[in-house]
Amino acid sequence: MALNPSSDLRDVRGIAENEKTLIKSFVQGAVYCWVKNRTGEPFAVRDLMGGENFEWRGTPLIALFDKHSNGGKSDEDAIKAAAKDLGWLVKTVLAEDKRTFIPSKAGLVSHYRWVGNEA
């Protein structure tokens, strides 16, 4: 199914493939949890992995922060860059998913809503 309409995707580089696979699985679990508990509500990456879920240590997401931090960025800049990478990975997870998600934009923030009409 995927994103409707389809959209450009970008590959996230600078992390190992196994790290990327773990991140995508982690993200898919978060998305499925959202869909189950908040059916019909759109979500943004910050809804899934920000706010009270901002602490990434102990999760596969830390690889994104470490990539930028180890590259010499300040913590603040590494957080911003890691969040952008995560946004691209979330978009890829949704595009590859068996369910259909409709993307929308509110300012600079991308939102997604599960269609819910899969058989």
What is residue 106's DSSP assignment?
E
User: Quick one: pLDDT at residue 108?
Assistant: 82
Average pLDDT on 42-64 reads 93
Q: Does pLDDT of 119 surpass 50?
A: yes
Instruction: Write down the domain spans for the chain.
Output: 2-8+17-114
| pTM for the whole structure | 0.90
| Dist. CA 90–CA 24, nearest whole Å | 7
User: Quick one: pLDDT at residue 1?
Assistant: 45
Mutual orientation of helices 62-70 and 75-96 as an angle, nearest 10°?
Answer: 140
CA distances from 60 to 7, 37, 104, 109 (A): 25, 23, 27, 23
Q: What is the pLDDT of residues 6-38, one digit of tens each?
A: 778 899 999 999 999 999 999 999 999 999 999
Which burial class, exposed, middle or buried, applies to 101 when counting CB atoms under 10 A from its CB (0-12, 13-18, 19+)?
buried
Q: Does pLDDT of 4 surpass 80?
A: no
